[in-house]
A and B are shown apart, each in its own frame.
Chain A
């Protein structure tokens, strides 16, 4: 062992010897602790509410909650029904709708059911106002009746392109549900009922396709995507990593111990989440995959060093102690920085990212603790066979690479520097897109149904609580005129499929009150008329089909719903901006305060909100990691310098993404701090060996670079391969947010290796070489100069 042992080296040696001596105690304690903490997993539940993706402080969520408190909750099921015949106005299809409408009232937690069959058609006959279901007894309708129903339905603004398409190809049933939110089983219960209902109806009416969409299906899909990921991704990840370990570490016992370690780390992470009462989402469910990817690194470093020393003829015990000594600091620092990166996710606006960050951080720290206790304890008694050193050293390649980098440092520095700048310049091209149907891939039923339904009906509702002047204000003709103007304006906007406001009901009632004279299809001219029409209408409506979900109880506001087709986030934003502009220009008084809201609005800004909130998180992560680096490397300058090779790969990864993919969901906000915590590992290992080369071995800069390459080059390559595979494999997730995050992080990690191998050494070779002193105690410049000269 070298004479120049630091205090930390001494601690590591004492720890290694102690652990090996009391290995049975260490192993037992590890297992007991793991299973104790893992017992928390019994408290884990799956989230089935898209609101879980937004923090309580999210302004769009707050606006929507307030809106829903005033009207009705917006959870729903939406059935799109398409007959093979191509025309819905036939006895069979209408009978289907009638039957399904009736049965839909049995869906658990349903509040109201709307379809053209129970649409409250109003008409007048002398002094009678007749209010009746538009379609009743569909089986017996004559061809003439069917055509009459078609004419009424297609002419009705409340129905056209909302519950029946203008071309009569598709018809729909909307079911509003309100969950008491007391049990996790409510959504699955309703969904199971709905699917059963669809099967029954489709069996009875085989010539029809029925797609189910709506917020409840979205909510259940989060759960289903999560289940899908857990059952497919995680087992395959274990398989891949076992193969990789076996190939690289070339030790059965080493592989077994590592797999046990990462399994324990994942169990501990999830157990803590359980005790913390976390509701799992597909995002937080990627934590086990991430933990197992990251946890492996610590073990690889220690096992590889041990193997290296054993090949040089050392006993297993000595090799193990030495492996712990040289790796103790870098393994601790890398785990610490990785944990910091993940903990920074707590700044995100989306609680699933807090959970992901905290579970991963716990797992990473657990893995680190086990790698310096459990791992040596296990390895000390398991058999390890190492072939004697062969003639050719496998560090030859690394040595050559080091010489190449040193020789061409100037070209590499400027070449890679220019590439980095070019890529970073591409970053502004990235476009945010959070179309929530596209969060799910085709394996999830909701996505397939949504794609199908999108061919016929709009998909994304935007709600406006259009404010009036005080109580009863909605009956003011000026208000109704403005509401109608807003409605007419919205109908003309691109991507708008439907607009629902009470102005259309008012016009119809006014016509009904004047013997159905078409020339009276206009707004009532005074507020008394408007109020009395509404009173009449309300008295005549059946159970569940009232206007309480359309008009505020004191009639100080009414709700306008604009439905957009399958639009991108950018297109939604354009519509919202235009709507706000219309309100600013045209609305007067109280109405000016009208704002758009809905789940779609929340998702439209989810990326911005998260990027915004993560800026502080990222800054703190960068600073905290730099501080750790300064202490770990005992050099302010090198620690600060490390920000460059740490930060550049992430920025370049974003630039590359902009060039290759172009759009990204809100997970992008999490990538920076997560990948920073990870890519920093390569730098830590490389720089710590570089410094050891200078301080301990007395090399000059070029020599220390070569030393670093030979010492950790292979381990870094193996680690990078494992990490890139691990994160890139997240791309096979059912859930796009995970896929984006995984691919982007993998890209950043791959770039990090390139930068650490080709750019960092070139950077170290630049300048006057005064970056580091020979010994941490004496900051003696002449000392360094002498070594460099040697």
Chain B
């Protein structure tokens, strides 16, 4: 009898505890969902501020610096065609002009959201186009600290988001949003992006590697507003905290709406570009 009573007391207290916990956690769960939504909203507002640029052309200089302080540069140009909708990515054509030995080498890419991008490379010395079949998304781009995905346009649906909070960065009010890759074979567990509250542009991204240690930081600067309210950063500086190497991408003037179309982003054009 007594035992029974004791059991009842225990059951009651367990029940009480469970109830209390669920009450305590309920708002937390709600908060989590809210943070996800808010993170997505901020990222989407930033991403969509770009909508309608149609196409762009720009030239850039990439400066690589190793841990010993030695520098080297590569010059390249980018042509980009805006995606049709948010379920696919932009199309891009990258042409190398220096170093001399790779002049005319051209990379065509059709970005995908969750599958590996389609990539074709034209090798002028071989006079052949090769399709690159690789599951790798985040490999380094031509020996730099950038992965190809780091500096090409970000696809909104590649990530899940979480709003972290507000901060001040270089005198700007920024929203801090974490994003988690949804695609396989990513080298990153997460990225922390800093998006200003004024014109909604990404100002900084911290990249965390597979073991969730800070790997790289990308700083966006020299933003300029072009016609149609499209913003572009003209200096992208990537620092690798683990190897102490860094790469800076300096862009020239962007040209928009240059009449590029789908036909300019097919395998066949690769041989003709220069």
Contacts and interface: CB of A to CB of B under 8 A. Distances in A.
B267 to A, nearest CB: 9
Given A108-B213, A110-B211, A543 B143 contact: no
Contact of B66 (A110, A475, A539, A552): A552
Contacts of B69: 69
B96 interface: yes
A542 interface: yes
A106 B210 CA distance: 7
B102 A531 contact: yes
Interface stretch (A197-205, A522-530, A715-723, A738-746): A522-530
A537 to B, nearest CB: 10
Q: Name which of B101, B123, B138, B142 has the most chain A CB atoms within 10 A of its CB.
A: B101
B140 A548 contact: yes
Interface string B100-130: 1110010100000000000101011110111
Given A532-B105, A553-B72, A554-B71, A108 B187 contact: no
Contacts of A555: 72, 99, 143
Contacts of A131: 132-134, 136
Nearest to A124: B130
Contacts of B138: 542-543
Nearest to B147: A543
A105 B210 contact: yes
A536 B134 contact: no
A130 B135 CA distance: 9
A552 B67 CA distance: 11
A155 B126 CA distance: 26
Contacts of B96: 535
B245 interface: yes
B20 interface: no
A111 to B, nearest CB: 6
A542 B139 contact: yes
B4 interface: no
A111 B213 CA distance: 11
B101 A531 contact: yes
A529 B136 contact: no
A527 B71 CA distance: 21
Given A475-B101, A543-B136, A548-B140, A127 B210 contact: no
Given A69-B66, A127-B131, A538 B143 contact: yes
B141 interface: yes
B66 A531 contact: no
B243 interface: yes
Contacts of B100: 472
A239 interface: no
B68 A532 contact: no
Interface string A747-763: 00000000000000000
B29 interface: no
A532 B211 contact: no
A130 B186 CA distance: 18
B187 A529 contact: no
B139 A130 contact: no
A106 B147 CA distance: 20
A546 interface: yes
Interface string A243-282: 0000000000000000000000000000000000000000
B213 A542 contact: no
Nearest to A536: B121
B197 interface: no
Contact of A105 (B64, B99, B211, B242): B211
A66 interface: yes
A107 interface: yes
Residue with the highest number of chain A CB atoms closer than 10 Å, among B72, B139, B148, B211: B139
Given A529-B125, A539-B139, A128 B68 contact: no
A432 to B, nearest CB: 32
Nearest to B73: A554
A543 B142 contact: no
Interface string B65-81: 11111111000000000
Nearest to B101: A531
Contacts of A532: 101-102, 105, 123-126
6 contacts: A105-B209, A106-B210, A132-B135, A532-B124, A532-B125, A543-B185
Q: Give the 9 A-B CB pairs with smallest separation, nearest first.
A: A543-B187, A69-B68, A554-B72, A531-B101, A542-B136, A528-B125, A131-B134, A529-B125, A543-B138
Interface of A: 66, 68-70, 72, 105-111, 127-132, 178, 180, 471-472, 475, 513, 526-533, 535-536, 538-548, 551-555
Interface of B: 64-72, 96, 99-102, 105, 107, 119, 121, 123-126, 128-136, 138-143, 147-148, 185-187, 209-211, 213, 242-243, 245
